[in-house]
Structure 1
């Protein structure tokens, strides 16, 4: 799969370095463009539409071919930049080509559902209002919050709140090129380091962009838009491929759980023999005090003729409740306010649903807990490396295997098959539980966002012979690897 986010960033970077379109020696140099910018600015000052900036600096090219910045007090410093740009481009401060002003505050109570004017906040439309004051296509910069520094345009006549800055720019500069330049600057990195990030006009004004000749600005915008259009197409096709891969995976697992993926063999021990081995193992564990008497009691499934998993299966298979073949343990979350339980350094892996991904094994976790939390909250009981885990709240049916000894939160269970030769049953459950736990046709009619213990207990597992489990695991994992490559 192509990382389209990285591709977009690369195209923008090439555009802003003059590497997206060829240079034309016949183009008017950007230095002439600067003269027109200064003339336009002087006219605006003369008309008293803007004030003269007493601290304005001037960027110029020295005899040595390098660029320098001259300050109001006469001080001259070399222009420090790591960005290379063509000789006929010109470095220029944003203060020379744009002005920003804050939008107008609007109380949430003033927002309406039936207003005819969209209201823009820090990142796009947040509601509607009965009037507006900003024209369609106006460039905005998010001013406050998570989206401070984000760049957008109004799509129609709009109201803009004080969470955004309104950009007015020189008519001499291509507005679309300016938009790309602002995005390339990553203005979000300029926000104040406070609880509520804020970006100021002064920080924006001090930024430097590199201005090509007018004709090249237009060519760059056109070329950029053409390439981004192709990226959008790639993105759309990849999403379609991803959806198809998901459907194919679902179909393959459905076929596997119906006993149609691998051939039957009359010499196989039927699944009923496996169940007897599981019962014998449970009895042994009970006698050793490792499980309770209630764990010996088997759950009966009420067979529903409409249930997809009670359609004709091979005679050697069985349909069994999950509780009858596995023991499982629900996780915990240590008190998040107790600093003695959590650590940013080396600690014990604590898994949340956010850590559960497409990879089979979980190695890293977002958060870690201390040994003190392991002992006091989990009583020293951890899930060993290789344990099968499954989410049963919010995101139901995510499965992973542990890459190392770990603990997890209360939305996840650790699953331990009672009898399992070479983890064959564990690996089979890893594949089928996402389907079973999310099926609206299970005998518990499992729907919604949460499974309780009773619903987990009666998840109906189509149980093949051990040999078929092994072959299903091998074939499905091979198929998933192929899908991963092509999607």
Structure 2
């Protein structure tokens, strides 16, 4: 059994609206997007966020076509760019519309330390982005490289994405379930922040498994890179918030069963090897 293919299939069903039932009583994703935009405007007004020159949002016209409206007032017909049809109550948006993308800090190679000396802070790199965050092989850098920017500190519920890696691993994602110690992240990763990060994480993981990030990346010698602008313009199929929660619950339950299958397979293989070793040992005696 190819468990990775099974995981990909589950995530594929989820983002196409085929994993859980739709409920007509759910508040639509269009209303959710309006609330997200209103909250974003509040943060811009308070100075917490800056308005991007390429900010835009997608809307569905009276002619049943998708359009994108930009900050300068331009409107573009994007119907032919929409990846696939979504269920009623869902909506298409772009990643930059529903989340904030934060590129990591940059520092000279000579600034890397292997121990937490005074004023040093752990720094996550692409090597730390596995199926979960891997905190082994950490490096440390002086806090001066954060330049007093608190957005460069990792936060609970962040999604961390490897934006520069080998072609096969670019776009790999991990979820920050908790923060124990203050920690930053390097320039080859992007942190994505949104209050719908649970669903968004599984959508991004599906894109990685299906090779979509590989297709979107640019190659330079040994490194594939996904630009932050490319990520911000990434189409996201957005379910109603209540359905997102049902989707995440279903995904986590099914993936836990797949993990168990994998572990049982490993345990069985180990038992078979041990049995063969004992038989061989008895035969030699």
Give the TM interval when normalised to the shorter protein: 0.7 to 0.9
Per the alignment, in what secondary structure is the counterpart of residue 8 of structure 1?
helix
Q: Contact 1:141/1:164 (CA < 8 Å) preserved in 2?
A: yes
Give 1:111 shift.
Answer: 2.3
Task: Quote the residue 1:141 is aligned against.
Answer: 161
Residue 248 of structure 2 is aligned to residue 218 of structure 1: no
Q: Which has the higher helix share?
A: 2
Question: What number of residue pairs does the alignment pair up?
Answer: 254
TM alignment of 1:313-462, pairs within 5 A: none
The counterpart of 2:217, out of the listed 180, 184, 191, is 191
* Aligned structure 1 segments of 4 or more residues deviating by more than 6 angstroms: none
Alpha-carbon spacing, 1:227–1:127, altered in 2? closer, same or farther (3 Å): same
Q: In structure 2, what is the equivalent of residue 61 of structure 1? A: 60
Give the alignment partner of residue 201 of structure 1, picking from 201, 223, 228: 228
Task: Please say which structure displays the higher CA radius of gyration.
Answer: 1
Q: Does 1:179 align with 2:201?
A: yes
Unmatched 5+ stretches in structure 1: 259-307, 312-487
Q: Pick from 157, 168, 178: which aligns with 2:193?
A: 168
Secondary structure at the counterpart of residue 224 of structure 2: coil
Between the aligned partners of 1:56 and 1:161, the Cα distance in structure 2 is: 25
How far is 1:134 from its partner? 2.2
* Cα deviation digits, residues 425-481 of structure 1 (max 9, x gap): xxxxxxxxxxxxxxxxxxxxxxxxxxxxxxxxxxxxxxxxxxxxxxxxxxxxxxxxx
Superimposed CA distance per residue, residues 340-393 of structure 1 (whole angstroms, 9 cap, x where no aligned partner)? xxxxxxxxxxxxxxxxxxxxxxxxxxxxxxxxxxxxxxxxxxxxxxxxxxxxxx
In the other structure, the counterpart of 1:112 is 114
- By relative contact order (CA 8 Å, sep 6+), the higher-ranking structure is 2
Alpha-carbon distance change, 160 to 55 in structure 1, aligned in 2, over 3 angstroms: closer
**Residue of 99, 120, 127 corresponding to 1:123:** 127
- Partners of 2:58 and 2:102 lie apart in 1 by 25
Choose from 244, 255, 269 the match for 1:242. 269
Provide the alpha-carbon RMSD of the alignment. Answer: 2.6
Specify the SS of the correspondent of 1:123.
helix
Q: CA deviation at 1:149?
A: 1.6
Alpha-carbon shift at residue 198 of structure 1 (Å)? 1.8
The DSSP-based 3-state class of the residue aligned with 2:34 is helix
Cα distance in structure 2, aligned partners of 1:237 and 1:79: 45
Q: Is the 8 A contact 2:65 2:77 kept in 1?
A: no
- CA distance in 2 between counterparts of 1:242 and 1:210 reads 40
- Are 1:230 and 2:257 an aligned pair? yes
Determine if contact 1:70/1:77 at 8 Å carries over to the other structure: no
What's the secondary structure of 1:75's corresponding residue?
strand
**Kindly tell me: are residues 58 and 33 of structure 1, through their superposed partners in 2, closer, same or farther at Cα, counting changes over 3 Å?**
same
Q: CA deviation at 1:212?
A: 0.9
Contact 1:85–1:210 (8 Å) recurs in 2: yes
Cα displacement (A) at 1:79: 4.2
- Separation (CA, whole Å) in 1 of partners of 2:248 and 2:142: 32
**Structure-2-length-normalised TM-score:** 0.79
